[in-house]
Amino acid sequence: MPRPANPFVRERLLDAGLALFHARGINAVGIKEVTDTAGVPKGSFYSYYNSKNDFVAGVIDHYWAEVIRDHGVLLTDTSAPPVRRLVAFFKSLTQEHAERGFALGCLLGNLALELTDDNGEARQRLADIMDQWSALIGECLTQARSAGDVTATTDTTELASMIIECWEGAVMRGRVDRSRVPFDRFLTVSLPRLIGHGPGICLRARRESAC
């Protein structure tokens, strides 16, 4: 009878895959490199994942869970006004990129450029997470509109997708330039214009210790 899966081994595999995929992409990393980095035998990989594509989908989930854990709470903190929450969320993500020297980019955006039709499961997982991300931001925008802080007339779910797409572009440019300038431009120019808010939004939030 096979032994049950060990959650600690699974976590080590996911951590190793996340670090390797984020730094080098999925096509440049093989399963043996993942298992060597995780410190587990290569054969044990298949006790947890049916294929590399299955594993990539798991890593995407793992990455998104970390984003929600570390930053997502800022979007749902009802003690702060919704626009301030939105700015705080992207400021928090910017700080994480700064700590990595703006060198890695966003794993979701990076994988979106690599995945093909052959990566069907992983690509679908990525699409699902993008929808979840849009829904989280869309809910924040709906609350902001109700409070009169968002004047853009675009549907909030569509507006949320536009914000994410603009953010991913800023992350990509920041990775190319190894610079926070695109991130700051997103916060002080792009985001305020998209939501129909004044250009001083980020500066005001910083003065209130929320940006």
pLDDT digits (tens, 9 = 90+) for 97-147: 999 999 999 999 999 999 888 888 899 999 999 999 999 999 999 999 998
In the DSSP assignment, the letter for residue 40 is S
User: What's residue 204's pLDDT?
Assistant: 47
> Do both 59 and 156 map to the same domain?
yes
Cβ proximity of 44 and 35 under 8 Å:
yes
> Do both 36 and 106 map to the same domain?
no
> Do both 103 and 196 map to the same domain?
yes
Residues 6+ apart with CB under 8 A from 84: 205, 208, 210, 211
- Angle subtended at Cα 55 by Cα 67 and Cα 93, rounded to the nearest 5 degrees: 15
User: What's residue 15's pLDDT?
Assistant: 97
> Do both 62 and 161 map to the same domain?
yes
User: What's residue 2's pLDDT?
Assistant: 42
Say how many C-beta atoms besides its own lie within 10 A of residue 208's C-beta: 12
> Do both 38 and 97 map to the same domain?
no
User: What's residue 81's pLDDT?
Assistant: 94
Which regions of the chain are under pLDDT 70? 1-5, 198-211
Tell me the two tokens of residue 138: 């869309």
Helix (H, G, I), strand (E, B) or coil at 45: helix
> Do both 18 and 96 map to the same domain?
no
* Buried residues in 155-164 as b, exposed as e (16+ CB within 10 A): ebbebbbbbb
> Do both 70 and 43 map to the same domain?
no
> Do both 83 and 107 map to the same domain?
yes
Cβ proximity of 74 and 85 under 8 Å:
yes
Query: Is pTM beyond 0.75 here?
Result: yes
> Do both 41 and 130 map to the same domain?
no
Cβ proximity of 47 and 2 under 8 Å:
yes
User: What's residue 14's pLDDT?
Assistant: 97
> Do both 141 and 56 map to the same domain?
yes
Tell me the two tokens of residue 9: 């081994």
CATH, residue 18:
1.10.10.60
> Do both 56 and 145 map to the same domain?
yes
User: What's residue 136's pLDDT?
Assistant: 96
Q: Taking all residues of the chain, what is their mean pLDDT, rounded to a whole number?
A: 90
User: What's residue 7's pLDDT?
Assistant: 81
Domain limits for position 4: 1-49
DSSP annotation string for 132-196: HHHHHHHHHHHHHHHTT-----S-HHHHHHHHHHHHHHHHHHHHHHT-SHHHHHIIIIIHHHHHT
How many structural domains comprise the chain? Answer: 2
> Do both 43 and 83 map to the same domain?
no
Cβ proximity of 52 and 31 under 8 Å:
yes
